[in-house]
């Protein structure tokens, strides 16, 4: 925008749904909950722990995440009932659009481990730093509490036939 004004965060919720998200909702960063147990679930329950730069122990710690969230005024929670990788691409695209629109601090958090590369080259560094973002849970965000507080659906997936719900977060300031 040439006049110095920023587009409303609502414009990014509209872009998210136009791009295929089921819904998007503006939250205060204080409505994004963090908890120590979340990263432990990554450490003792996910096969990607230590194997991807977007996962623990490489992703931001709980304390770093809370401090980062507190530096923002707006969070946009984006919901998709399918296509985890597409949601990750969508939120990174929105981050770029927000940045180019004047939200110079825009930052995206995805859902689940990044699978852009078949094998993450941890020692050599990320081959796709423009597209790779850590997952909310990898940063200690309690996705269940955050999502439920926002009024979106989320349940434990008990088997492959259960409906799935994926979430991403766009931070704006």
Q: Per-residue pLDDT for 25 more than 90? A: yes
% residues pLDDT > 70 (the chain):
98
User: CA distances (Å), 123 to each of 51, 112, 114, 119, in order?
Assistant: 10, 21, 16, 11
pLDDT surpasses 70 at 91:
yes
Mean pLDDT, residues 70-82: 95
pLDDT at 3: 65
**Residue-range domain boundaries for the chain:** 9-172
pLDDT at 112: 87
Specify the pTM.
Answer: 0.94
- Mean pLDDT, to the nearest integer, of 5-19? 96
How sure is the predictor about 4, in pLDDT bands with cuts at 50, 70 and 90? Answer: confident
Task: Quick: pLDDT tens for 120-161.
Answer: 999 999 999 999 999 999 999 999 999 999 999 999 989 888
Query: Which helix (DSSP H) or strand (DSSP E) does residue 33 occupy?
Result: none
Reported confidence tier of residue 171, pLDDT bands at 50, 70, 90: very high
Q: Are 136 and 167 within 8 A, CB to CB?
A: yes
Q: Work out the number of other CB atoms within 10 angstroms of the CB of residue 117.
A: 13
Burial (Cβ within 10 Å: 0-12, 13-18, ≥19) of residue 22: middle
pLDDT for res 85: 80
Residue 150's pLDDT is 98
């Amino acid at each position: 925008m040439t006049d110095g004004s920023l587009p409303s965060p609502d414009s990014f919720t509209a872009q998210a749904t136009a791009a295929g998200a089921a819904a998007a909702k503006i939250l205060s960063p204080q409505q994004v909950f963090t908890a120590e147990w979340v990263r432990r679930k990554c450490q003792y329950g996910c096969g990607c722990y230590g194997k991807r730069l977007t996962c623990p122990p490489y992703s931001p710690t709980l304390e770093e995440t809370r401090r980062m969230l507190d530096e923002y005024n707006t969070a946009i929670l984006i919901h998709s009932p399918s296509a985890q990788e597409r949601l990750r691409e969508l939120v990174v695209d929105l981050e770029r659009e927000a940045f180019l629109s004047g939200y110079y601090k825009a930052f995206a958090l995805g859902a689940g481990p990044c699978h852009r590369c078949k094998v993450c080259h941890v020692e050599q560094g990320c081959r796709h730093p423009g597209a790779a973002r850590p997952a909310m849970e990898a940063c200690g965000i309690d996705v269940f509490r955050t999502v439920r507080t926002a009024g979106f659906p989320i349940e434990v997936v008990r088997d492959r036939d259960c409906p799935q719900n994926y979430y991403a977060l766009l931070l704006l300031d």
